[in-house]
Amino acid sequence: MADHNKTLGEFIIENQKDFAYSSGELSRLINSIRLAAKVVNHEVNKAGLVDILGAFGDKNIQGEEQQKLDVFANEAFIKTLTNREIVCGIASEENDGFITISGREKNNQNKYVVLIDPLDGSSNIDVNVSVGTIFSIYRRVTPAGTPVTLEDFLQPGVNQVAAGYIIYGTSTMIVYTTGHGVNGFTLNPAIGTYYLSHPNMCIPEDGHIYSVNEGNYIHFPQGVKDYIKYCQMEEDDRPYTSRYIGSLVSDIHRNILKGGIYFYPKSSKASKGKLRLLYECNPMAFIVEQAGGKASDGFNRIMEIQPKELHERVPFFCGSKNMVEKAEEFMKNAQ
């Protein structure tokens, strides 16, 4: 049962013993993300009232047109994490390379690096559809006191110490895991405090929702086409319901609560898929697995993939365990 009197801050303090390295830094880091999320939420909620809608006029490293809120959210998270001197490095989906944070001390002793998608689903901003933030936290692998290197960021998802997302929708929520289950906190905008609203979130093993951009059907591999047809067949508990928002955070959040599968496969238009392994797939995979679900690239566990580059893309299948396994079955049979 939800404890609507327990705040996110209280929850973090109470559960600090679960962190692998209980020095307080990870708690402070999640608190910093909470603060930056409030700033971004405030700006998102003013969209349409102030000049924050529309394109910024520049493109990010992926060649995608940046929206004004993309830029604002990116700067807000980087500024908050940098000013608090908790992390030694940050990598953002919006930046070409990673950011080294040296701190005021001569030798930076901070242990954690953060990878972040500051505003997922930004193409939905102008039409007032839910958007979100996705974050992933790793313990650095290079020695403390030295500048971070690319090696600190190119870690497989199994090395994550925490991951989460913030959804800016009808209500604003932070959902995160430190490897001990998944918990969701809803913002009370009247007092600016997050309260535990969704404790021990669990995704059903089966679901009735499939989420995919069917407009790309003609470009999908045969295994994906076969699975979509399976979802649409009138047999047993099918056809499934098709629900696709186009905002990864929103689609995954709904499917965790209701049961379902989200997939963004490779295609003839995107040979490696579209979603980024480090900023989107790994953190979402960690969350979904901790909620009892499954995440793969159609054949292999997402979190066991060894990243080769900062902005690497992969196919992504994520959600209710039995649905993902059925999709994998179709992918394998079509080889």
pLDDT (mean) for 263-281: 96
pLDDT value at residue 173:
95
**Residue 49 or residue 167, greater confidence:** 167
Does the annotation list 169 as a binding residue? no
Which residue has 């289950």 as its token pair? 181
State yes or no: 280 annotated in a binding site.
Answer: yes
Look at residue 183 in the predicted model and tell me its pLDDT: 97
Across the range 10-36, mean pLDDT stands at: 79
The Cα 64–Cα 41 span in angstroms is 23
- Is 55's pLDDT higher than 60? no
pLDDT tens per residue across span 201-216: 999 999 999 999 999 9
Query: What is the model's pLDDT at position 184?
Result: 97
Residue 200 annotated as part of some ligand binding site: no
**Does residue 297 have a pLDDT over 90?**
yes
Helix 68-83 with 25-44: angle, nearest 10 deg: 150
R_g (Cα) of the chain, nearest Å: 19
Q: Which of 29-33, 80-84, 127-131, 226-230 has the lowest mean pLDDT?
A: 127-131
Q: Considering only 2-16, 70-84, 100-114, which range has the smallest mean pLDDT?
A: 100-114
121 marked as binding residue? yes
Q: Is 213 among the annotated ligand-binding positions? A: yes
Arithmetic mean of pLDDT over the chain: 88
**8-198 — its CATH code?**
3.30.540.10
Range 148-157 average pLDDT: 97
Residue 147 identity (one-letter amino acid): P
> Nearest-CA neighbor of 313 among 269, 262, 253?
269
Assign 63 a pLDDT band (cuts: 50, 70, 90).
low
CB distance 67 to 59 below 8 Å: no
Rounded Cα distance, 159 and 282, in Å: 10
**pLDDT band for position 104 (cuts 50, 70, 90):** low
- Least confident range of 144-148, 236-240, 307-311, 327-331: 144-148
Supply the pLDDT for residue 53: 46
The response to whether 244 counts as a known ligand-binding position is yes
Please tell me the predicted confidence (pLDDT) of residue 44: 77
Q: Residue 313: beta bridge partners?
A: 276
SS (H, E, C) the chain: CCCCCCEHHHHHHHCHHHCCCCCCHHHHHHHHHHHHHHHHHHHHCCECCECCCCEEEEECCCCCEEEHHHHHHHHHHHHHHHHCCCEEEEEECCCCCCEECCCCCCCCCCCEEEEEEEEECHHHHHHCCCEEEEEEEEECCCCCCCCCCHHHHCCCHHHEEEEEEEEECCCEEEEEECCCCEEEEEEECCCCEEEEEECCCCCCCCCCEEECCHHHHHHCCHHHHHHHHHHHCCCCCCCCEECCCCCHHHHHHHHHHHCCEEEECCCCCCCCCCCEHHHHHHHHHHHHHHCCCEEECCCCEHHHCCCCCCCCECCEEEECHHHHHHHHHHHHHCC
Whether residue 58 has pLDDT greater than 70: no
Is 95 one of the annotated binding-site residues?
no
Say which residue, 46 or 25, is predicted with more confidence. 25
Q: Please report the pLDDT score of residue 67 as a whole number.
A: 63
For residues 28 and 276, which has the higher predicted lDDT (pLDDT)? 276
Residue 217: band (very low, low, confident or very high) from pLDDT cuts 50, 70, 90: very high
Lowest average pLDDT, out of 105-114, 126-135, 203-212, 246-255, goes to 105-114
Count of all residues that appear for the chain in the document: 335
pTM to 2 decimal places: 0.92
243: phi then psi, degrees, rounded to nearest 5: -135, 115
Known binder of ligand: residue 226? no
Across the beta sheet with 182-188, what order do the strands follow?
99-100, 87-92, 112-120, 131-139, 160-168, 172-177, 182-188, 193-198
Q: Is 14 annotated as a binding residue?
A: no
Q: Is the pLDDT of residue 54 over 50?
A: no
> Is 92 known to sit in a ligand binding site?
no
Binned at pLDDT 50, 70 and 90, residue 57 comes out as very low
- What is the Cα–Cα distance from 325 to 205, expressed in whole angstroms? 10
- Does residue 90 have a pLDDT over 70? yes
How many CB atoms are closer than 10 A to CB 102? 14
For domain 209-333, the question of CATH label 3.40.190.80 is answered with yes
For residue 248, what pLDDT band results from cuts at 50, 70 and 90?
very high
> Domain-by-domain residue ranges, the chain?
8-198, 209-333
- Is 325 marked as binding a ligand? no
The pLDDT assigned to 106 comes to 45
Please, are residues 123 and 54 in contact by the beta-carbon 8 Å criterion? no
2 versus 221: which is more confidently predicted?
221
Name the residue with higher pLDDT: 49 or 29: 29
